[in-house]
Amino acid sequence: MRGKYRWPDGVRCVVTLTVDFDGPSHETGRKLRPLGINSWGRYSGRRGVPRYLDLFEKHQIPASFFVPGYDAECYPEVVKEIHRRGFEVGAHGYLHEAWDLADEEEELLKRTHRILSDLTGTAPLGWRSPSGRKSARTIRVLKELGYIYDSSDKDYDLPYLVRIDGRRMSDMVELPSSAYSLDDFPFYKFSMTPASEVLEHWKQEFDSLYHENGYFMLMVHPRSGWGSGTPSRARVVDDLIHYIKRHEGVRFFSVAGLAKWCLDHHDDFE
């Protein structure tokens, strides 16, 4: 695909805002007790997620929350509230797995699928890999479960149709995500970047993508510590939304909503 991509229906830029729950599953999966200095993930269910629900509701825009199964077990009412308020609940591993899963992978994918389906009464339509873990069997299992998208890979700057055994699927799409420039984790975990500078960086990223291919996906974590759950860091997302809304031709989607839209126009994607 060369030059600026033209989206269907005259849209200039699609925007998806995504929240990776990453509660106590993150520490528990690493064999840490989620207490004291390791209690940051508990902030997600107690304050971070409710704060983002209010934020997105205030702006009247869709958004997607990717939830590990273990976190859903710890905070079932919060997950139900995400769904009740009209936001997408996607799957995000069980214990935010950071180890090679081997034969364990299929069981964990199905376990979280059952947990989220039972809590919300609706089966998830999409999945994002925890810790970047993905194997050759992952997509096959997701497809068996009825998923229509994956949002794990980092290998392109537009959505594209999933391939299995070299055959292009017209009913499943990859929605790439950036785990560096459009993810809060490296800024707050490693470089300890001030929130004001993160905002300016994300504005610059939006400007560049808006003028190129018009595909913008942001990932934040509602934790304290290295996440964006606390007030000043959530304010960054609030200010960014205000900034994005000032641009013409922008359409906000949940990730599932964008996946369905892409599949409805699957001939336009490679």
Q: Which of 260, 231, 263 is nearest to 64 (CA)?
A: 260
Q: Which of 150, 172, 146 is nearest to 161 (CA)?
A: 172
Per the domain annotation, does 262 fall within a domain?
A: yes
Cβ–Cβ under 8 Å, residues 89 and 82: yes
Note down the domain range covering 91. Answer: 8-268
Per the domain annotation, does 237 fall within a domain?
A: yes
Per the domain annotation, does 110 fall within a domain?
A: yes
Per the domain annotation, does 74 fall within a domain?
A: yes
Per the domain annotation, does 226 fall within a domain?
A: yes
Summarize pLDDT for 165-223 with one digit per residue, the tens.
Answer: 889 999 999 999 987 899 999 999 999 999 999 999 999 999 999 999 999 999 999 99
pTM (two decimals): 0.96
169-181 in b/e burial notation, b at 16+ Cβ within 10 A?
Answer: beebbbbbbeeee
CATH of the domain at 151: 3.20.20.370
Per the domain annotation, does 3 fall within a domain?
A: no
Per the domain annotation, does 69 fall within a domain?
A: yes
- pLDDT, average across residues 98-123: 92
Q: Which two tokens stand for residue 116?
A: 């989220």
Summarize pLDDT for 141-173 with one digit per residue, the tens.
Answer: 999 999 999 999 999 999 999 999 889 999 999
Q: Total structural domains in the chain?
A: 1
Per the domain annotation, does 88 fall within a domain?
A: yes
Q: Which two tokens stand for residue 157?
A: 């700057």
- The residue assigned the tokens 């859903």 is 72
